[in-house]
Amino acid sequence: MHYFVYKNDHLYCEDVSVSYVAEQIGTPFYLYSYSTIKRHFRVFEDAFNGLDHLTCFSVKSNSNLAILRLLASEGGGADIVSGGELFRAIKAGIAPDKIVYSGVGKTPEDMELALKSGIFMFNVESNQELQTLDKIAKDIGCKAPIAIRINPDVESKTHPYVVTGASENKFGIQIEDSLSAYALAKRLKHIDVKGISCHIGSQLTEIDPFVEALQKLKELLEALKKMGLDIKFLNLGGGLGITYNDEKPPHPLEYAGALRETMGDNNVTLILEPGRVITGNAGILVTRVLYTKSTKNKRFVIVDAGMNDLIRPALYNSFHAVQPVEMTHSEMLAADLVGPVCETGDFLAKDREMPAFKPGDLVAVMSAGAYSFSMASNYNSRPRPAEVMVKGNLLSVIRSREAYEDLISGETIPEFLE
């Protein structure tokens, strides 16, 4: 459930008209519903009631400080993949002892920052990373708490670019090599082995891949116990999908029930890293029609948001529903919704039946709360859009629209060019 609804043919975010937001701040902009984010987080949390767990929101899916602060206030932790995300999470008020650091390319500097910040755990993804972390922990004079991320070679049935648990992916350590990696970790004096980690992919709409991965991790858990390792945490990552079009992903209750049944009576704490399932349908991208044009084969609706604002359609051929902000059109026409960026791949919707939009109309691109602004860029020297949050009838700009001066921040012209 989300709080984007039509009232008298006008699209609202909670109790605020989307048109009103556009009048106040211009377009394009991202618009988030506070109540939707809060509800989605609580539904996910409640599904795991009675099971020891820690929910760490996937910061890469949406790293806005206001959203992170909202989730921190609900007791959420953070799954981070960079020093910048660590900085954001702590700045937003997420407790360091609820932060898990994932990613294949952690730098020594970021490892040091994370250790000094007192984060909960590192998900280590290679033997070399393990040895580097041991050295840094030694230099600081502490032990680094770790899980080793296992690649279980599970078919996750999602877009190939977001599969992360197959043998050909860069992530984690192959499950057949895991025992030797744990043996190395056990020998290192400044490593504290606490868990097993696994993440098989994003936007998964079936439960079976999660269950299969968990079964493999349970077998590994037993083998590690025989090695004398006291494994207290099992990190299953994120990946639970949402409805963009006609997908029918499992409800968090169904997901939690399957994991609970598969876990049995293993005395470990689950770590979960949801992202999209919390914020995906809690945000939209609002854009305004600039022009329309037709060729003998196509009709184009050209808007002021482009692939630099929302790259998912171009990158993954992802579907985002397109809705009018004002229900003033009875006619539907097939068209491409395209942006102003100088790339043929600059589209938000292709070959789609949509209202007969005309210049000046506002368009809502739905399900844009995850992997949307966080992947935005300044390509074509386009300032990134504003981000807005609504709570009831309250409206707040949680990120200002970039200005042209922001585009050249940090750049200098050297003396030899003057």
Residues marked active site are found at: 342
The encoded tokens of residue 170 equal: 């860069």
| Cis bond upstream, residue 160 (ω within 30) | no
Q: What span, in angstroms and rounded, lies between the C-alpha atoms of 28 and 401?
A: 9
Instruction: Give the SS3 label for residue 40.
Output: helix
Burial 92-110 (b: 16+ CB within 10 A, else e): bebbbebbbbbbbebeeeb
Outline where 234-325 has alpha helix (H). 252-263, 276-279, 312-316
For residue 343, count CB atoms less than 10 angstroms from its CB and return exposed for 0-12, middle for 13-18, buried for 19 or more. Answer: middle
Closest CA to 393 of 13, 4, 16, 12: 16
Q: 101 Cβ partners below 8 Å, 6+ apart?
A: 80, 81, 86, 110, 114, 119, 121, 122, 123
Q: Beta partners for 354?
A: 333
Q: What span, in angstroms and rounded, lies between the C-alpha atoms of 376 and 312?
A: 10
Q: What span, in angstroms and rounded, lies between the C-alpha atoms of 274 and 55?
A: 7
Q: 397 Cβ partners below 8 Å, 6+ apart?
A: 25, 386, 387, 388
The encoded tokens of residue 166 equal: 């197959």
Q: Are 55 and 99 in contact (CB under 8 A)?
A: no
Q: What span, in angstroms and rounded, lies between the C-alpha atoms of 237 and 202?
A: 10
DSSP state for residue 163 in the 8-state scheme: B
Q: What span, in angstroms and rounded, lies between the C-alpha atoms of 2 and 352?
A: 23
Q: What span, in angstroms and rounded, lies between the C-alpha atoms of 270 and 304?
A: 43
Q: Are 233 and 186 in contact (CB under 8 A)?
A: no
